[in-house]
Amino acid sequence: MGTTHIDHESEPLIAFSKVEVSSPGFNGPLLEHVSFTLHAGQSLVLSGPAGNGKSTAIGLVMGGGKPTAGLVSVFGRHPHLLDADDLDAMRARIGYVPQNGGLLSNLLLTENISLPLRYHRAADDATVRTALSRVQTLLGIEDLPAIPSAIANLRLRRLAALAKALILEPRLLILDEPTRDLAGFAKLDFWKLLSGLQTSHGIAILAATSDAETAYALGGQVISLPARHHVATARLGERSPAGTGVFRPA
């Protein structure tokens, strides 16, 4: 498939405007004055150490919470204001990979991948087989072993979780710590795989990661959240001064 034409002038898929999230028991807000937009075909990485609000931001996008202040919109709507049916419909338009991958340990890898088709579309076996073949070819996992996810190695579990997120052919892919615990080269390969998907299929990608050094391979924008009271933005590929490990503010 050739490169997909992207219209960056259309309404953003995700927009944060001066978003704040506070929580009892924390010294200061989890998120403070966070603003960004993500358009079709773009990528954006939320970066920084554990506990700095990356997963909180992902949760806001998925409708798992509401901002204390500011506005969050996804596909032009505010997730925390949607009723259960509308929220379910919104989530069906998003390919989501949670931190743990979201695979059921007792199901085969292929059964896990096909779950969204079964749940959201009540797909028959022929439709499932066709979709599985498509997404496995896309990710280079045509020979995926017929084993439960519980005994698959970490790399296969990560790829199966990604395939599951892509099975409904979403315009928007969201990943929370997708390369956690992978070895260095495997991390880099995973980000390169995502970059290829973005280029060839026009998928917008929002990822949260503590592995910003390898996330450079994705090639989009990064928002660094190094502390709860500071937000700095940079372009992926714009490294900090040698040895500092900190992104240059844009």
Q: What confidence tens digit (pLDDT) does each residue in 124-154 have? A: 999 999 999 999 999 999 999 999 999 999 9
Residue 66's alpha-carbon distances to 12, 50, 72, 78, 186, in angstroms, are 19, 20, 8, 9, 35
Residue 219, C-beta contacts closer than 8 angstroms, at least 6 positions apart: 43, 195, 236, 237
The stretch 73-88 carries a mean pLDDT of: 96
Considering only 40-54, 78-92, 221-235, which range has the smallest mean pLDDT? Answer: 221-235
* DSSP assignment letter at 210: S
- Mean pLDDT across 153-174: 96
Overall average pLDDT of the 14-27 stretch = 85
Q: Measuring CA to CA, which residue among 89, 55, 94, 36 is closest to residue 178?
A: 55
Q: Which domains does the chain have, with CATH numbers?
A: 8-57+64-93+172-250 (3.40.50.300), 102-169 (no CATH)
Q: Are 250 and 235 in contact (CB under 8 A)?
A: yes
Q: How confident is the model at residue 228 (pLDDT cuts 50, 70, 90)?
A: low
pLDDT of residue 42: 94
Cα–Cα distance measured from residue 70 to residue 219, given in angstroms and rounded to the nearest whole number? 28
Q: What confidence score (pLDDT) does residue 51 get?
A: 77
Q: Output Rg (C-alpha) for the chain, integer angstroms.
A: 18
Instruction: Please determine, for residue 240, whether its predicted confidence score (pLDDT) is greater than 50.
Output: no
Percentage of the chain modeled with pLDDT above 90: 64
Q: Which stretch of DSSP H or E encloses residue 72? A: strand 69-74
Reported as a pLDDT band with limits 50, 70 and 90, residue 214 is confident
Q: Are 224 and 233 in contact (CB under 8 A)?
A: yes
Q: Which three-class secondary structure state does DSSP give residue 86?
A: helix
* Percent share of the chain, pLDDT over 70: 85
- pTM listed for this prediction: 0.83
Return mean pLDDT, the chain.
85
